[in-house]
Structure 1
Amino acid sequence: MTDDTSGTLDEALERLHAAGPERGGWLSNHGPMAVEALVRHGQGGSVHRWLGHYRGKLEDMPGAYAPITEENWREALGDPRHIADWTAYFGHELADRPWRDVLALWWPRLLPGIAGGATHPVIRVGHAVRTLLDVPGEPPAPRTTELAHALGYWAARHAPLPPLGRLPGPPSGSAADALAAVLPVADQSGGIRDRLPQLTAFPAWPAQRREPAQRREPTQRTDPARQAEPDTRAIGPDAAHDRLAELVRAATLRYLTHGHGEPVMLVHAATAPNAVLRTLPALPRELWAPSLDAAWAASAAVTAAYGPSDPLPRPAAAADMAPEEVFARAAAHGDEHAIKLTDTALDVARDAAAADEDPQPALAAALHGCALIDPPPTAP
């Protein structure tokens, strides 16, 4: 991370914590995610100006509804009336316990609802965790407060996907082919809350080697397309990490040919799994494989909800550009989704360069996002 000796990030987070995580009853507050990316990629000088333009999209934090306790949290999970209550609950938890311990406890509780809030809550958690991992010692208070807001948002919007069957995975076993095998929902009108209930089955990915298990007699006849959830015991943490990175890369590059389906929403097919990938280093390793499964479900869900039936040719490649130049373009564009997609694309480009592969396709995906997504009425 760019050394934020100016305190710009923490000041910006403090400004944003007076606002709620949503506006208009459903649209997400992207401010904390965007400013974290701006600071990280050397655009800290534009943060407060960007917030000045963004403040029209902010609403005050909703009022309290009823306190969250150890006795009632299950009933309150997924109830947006408790947004402020959940935020306060996590604020108390993080004041009393190390943030990694709180995250390790709540991550598996929240993971089944990863698609809630159109995946924005888990993305916000990923950005918050990244800022905390930057600090070797006691983190600044605004960063733990940001984690409380992010976890609270996720808990309030927790929404499991409908029961899903498993379709055959791609013969290649690749993430790119698995995403290509995801079928679009039949009715692509309305918002994501209208589309996700239409999901019925996803391709089985990643391909897994099952460990020998005790034979059990079936209790009922089942449709072959509706098998039990995959047994992930054979996937170790390191393999889960690598497959998750592959998924992020595949979803990012897929944006080049499919982003036109819905340029804003399809950003999340890449940014949601990348948020999970960024969180892995802060989690116990036994949670990495379940995190991969949840990230695949989130990416596939967004792909099914918004992906077009037909791809378009890849846009003509731009002249080679340095990552910082690409991010500067996204910052100048000003839209929060263009900033977030570019932030993820730079991760993919960095990994490609480290593996002696071409980073330019990932950077091209970022530039394509800037071309497809409308800039704000008054760009910062």
Structure 2
Amino acid sequence: MDITSGTLDEALERLHTSGPEFQGFLSNHGPMAVEALVRHGQARTVHRWLDRYETKLEDVPSPQARITDENWHEALGDRNRVTDWTTYFTHAIAERPWREVLAEWWPRLLPGIAGAATHPVIRVGHAVRTLLEEGEEAPRVAELAHAIGYWAARHTTLPVSVSPRGAASPDAALAALPRVPDQQGGVLARVAQLPDTAGWQEAADALNGPDDPEAARDQLTALVRATVHRYVGYGHGHGVLLVHSATAPNAVLRTLPALPRELWVPSLTAAWTASAALVAAFSPAEAQPSPDTGSLTPEEVFERAAAHGDEHVIKLTDTALDVASWTEDGDDRALAAGLRSTELIPSEF
């Protein structure tokens, strides 16, 4: 990742003058997208991309009241307190190491991983990846405070609780998940059906859920690979929302190195629960054939994502390139997922 130009820090500073959502519920993907663009050699495109993306963003919401170590419970999940939460975490990270703050809040926030369609945890994953691999410059530390604050404000629990205790691989467990009966509504309407969807609980619990932290990390890695691969055939159920079935667990995987090992197993459980909910809510009944990647390299696939310009395409292709990098000979199916997203998601650029 080439950060010598300061492009990422400049972009983050620009984005921190805008709120985390717009039009009432849409998430500001700017921090996630620019981090991916810079990481994959597209720094020259960042400010031009932002010039267009910023036109739909909104101002930072007005603060409501101070959040403290004593009263935070009452503000958890209150979207109107997002600026209060950002202020709280900005002060916390200024006073203590960011890893310490993250470790304290991670188990508090995990039950609400599905909030805002998993966008907050994805934003945290991008922020942590940069801090771990590229350094702790002020705008990057500030981005983590914004990301955790967004998660706290949009903390939302699912109407189901999953306890992986079977023997199924992520591929097999995903394939066995039944679809919710009514596929017409939005996210909240669909996931509300999970408790009454016949066979869903059993299928979700059938995932192999190891107790060992290293094994949990390996299973989380396998989950990311499985959801990326699945997007190739089933992403057409909802090109945008099924992106998050892959990018949310990958955000958790990116964060694991910054967390105490005792948090790795519950992190796998939370990530699987969120992915399983999205897959059941939006997967179509039938798969489509895979697009031909030909002789495209990972760099060329990401160039296509950057040229397309949609933030979800950029995010999914970023995750797909992670998956492709995990095998010595690459992973054509992972690259096909990135290409599929350019077909399924309209470009506004």
TM-score of the pair, normalised by structure 1: 0.87
Q: In structure 1, what residue type is equivalent to 2:182?
A: D
Q: In structure 2, what residue type is equivalent to 1:194?
A: A
- Structure 1 residue ranges, 4+ long, deviating more than 6 angstroms after superposition: 165-168
**C-alpha distance in 2, partners of 1:166/1:95?**
36
Structure 2 alignment gaps of length 5 or more: 196-200
**C-alpha distance in 2, partners of 1:3/1:37?**
11
**C-alpha distance in 1, partners of 2:88/2:164?**
40
1:296 pairs with 2:265: no
**C-alpha distance in 2, partners of 1:247/1:196?**
20
Check whether the contact 1:175–1:205 (CA below 8 A) recurs between aligned residues. Answer: no
Secondary structure (helix, strand or coil) at the match of 1:61 reads coil
Describe the superposition over 1:60-83 as per-residue Cα deviations: whole angstroms up to 9, x where unpaired. 111011111111111110011101
**C-alpha distance in 2, partners of 1:193/1:64?**
27
**C-alpha distance in 1, partners of 2:11/2:127?**
13
Which residue does the alignment assign to 1:221? none
Deviation at 1:3, TM superposition (A): 2.4
**C-alpha distance in 2, partners of 1:143/1:291?**
23
How many residues are paired up?
343
Which residue does the alignment assign to 1:320? 295
Check whether the contact 1:18–1:61 (CA below 8 A) recurs between aligned residues. Answer: yes
* Structure 1, 261-270 or 187-196: larger mean CA deviation: 187-196
**C-alpha distance in 1, partners of 2:78/2:304?**
38
Q: 1:149 aligns with which of 138, 146, 149?
A: 146
Deviation at 1:180, TM superposition (A): 1.1
Check whether the contact 1:262–1:307 (CA below 8 A) recurs between aligned residues. Answer: yes
Alpha carbons of structure 1 residues 110 and 327: separation in structure 2 relative to 1, 3 Å: same
Check whether the contact 2:164–2:208 (CA below 8 A) recurs between aligned residues. Answer: no
* Structure 1, 320-329 or 30-39: larger mean CA deviation: 320-329
1:310 pairs with 2:247: no
TM-score of the pair, normalised by structure 2: 0.95
**C-alpha distance in 2, partners of 1:141/1:87?**
15
Q: In structure 2, what residue type is equivalent to 1:79?
A: D
Q: 2:304 aligns with which of 301, 317, 329?
A: 329
Which residue does the alignment assign to 1:287? 263
Bigger Rg, which one: 1
Which residue does the alignment assign to 2:185? 190
Deviation at 1:166, TM superposition (A): 6.5
Deviation at 1:7, TM superposition (A): 0.3
Which residue does the alignment assign to 1:271? 247
Describe the superposition over 1:137-171 as per-residue Cα deviations: whole angstroms up to 9, x where unpaired. xx1111111001100100000001113466995x6
* Structure 1, 182-191 or 50-59: larger mean CA deviation: 182-191
Mapping for residues 1-16 of structure 1, pairs under 5 Å: 2-16=1-15
Secondary structure (helix, strand or coil) at the match of 1:120 reads helix
Describe the superposition over 1:94-147 as per-residue Cα deviations: whole angstroms up to 9, x where unpaired. 1111000000000000000000010000000000001110245xx111111100
Deviation at 1:194, TM superposition (A): 1.7
**C-alpha distance in 1, partners of 2:160/2:346?**
35
Greater percentage in helix: 2
Which residue does the alignment assign to 2:155? 158
**C-alpha distance in 2, partners of 1:168/1:86?**
35
RMSD of aligned residue pairs (Cα, Å): 1.5
Deviation at 1:373, TM superposition (A): 0.9
Check whether the contact 2:165–2:208 (CA below 8 A) recurs between aligned residues. Answer: no
**C-alpha distance in 2, partners of 1:167/1:89?**
34
